[in-house]
Amino acid sequence: MDELKKLAGCGQDWAAQRAQMALSICDSHARGDISRDECRELMEDLVRTDSLDRVAGDIETKTALIKAVNVAMMLI
């Protein structure tokens, strides 16, 4: 979660928006608003390669985002 918070303030709009969405999805799951399966599906959508490739500015940030989302999904 710390990495997602870091990415949410990284200054690259595409990464910050997706990291913030991931944090919001995790919060929704923690509150019980969405199921574990819904949470995982939404998180996977955030890092789908085809859509991410269109907006990603640099490979390092893209890789960090994918890693952080995958780690967050393991914690769910």
Q: What percent of the chain has pLDDT over 90?
A: 58
Measure CA 48 to chain center: 10
- Characterize 23-62 residue by residue with b for buried, 16 or more Cβ atoms within 10 angstroms of its Cβ, and e for exposed: bebbeebeeeebeeeebbebbeebbeeeebeeebeeeebb
Q: What is the pLDDT of residue 50?
A: 65
Q: Is the pLDDT of residue 55 over 80?
A: no
User: Would you list the domain boundaries of the chain?
Assistant: 2-75
CA dihedral 11, 59, 14, 1 (to 10 degrees): -70
Taking the C-alpha atoms of residue 17 and residue 35, their distance in angstroms, rounded to an integer, is 22
Q: What is the pLDDT of residue 49?
A: 67
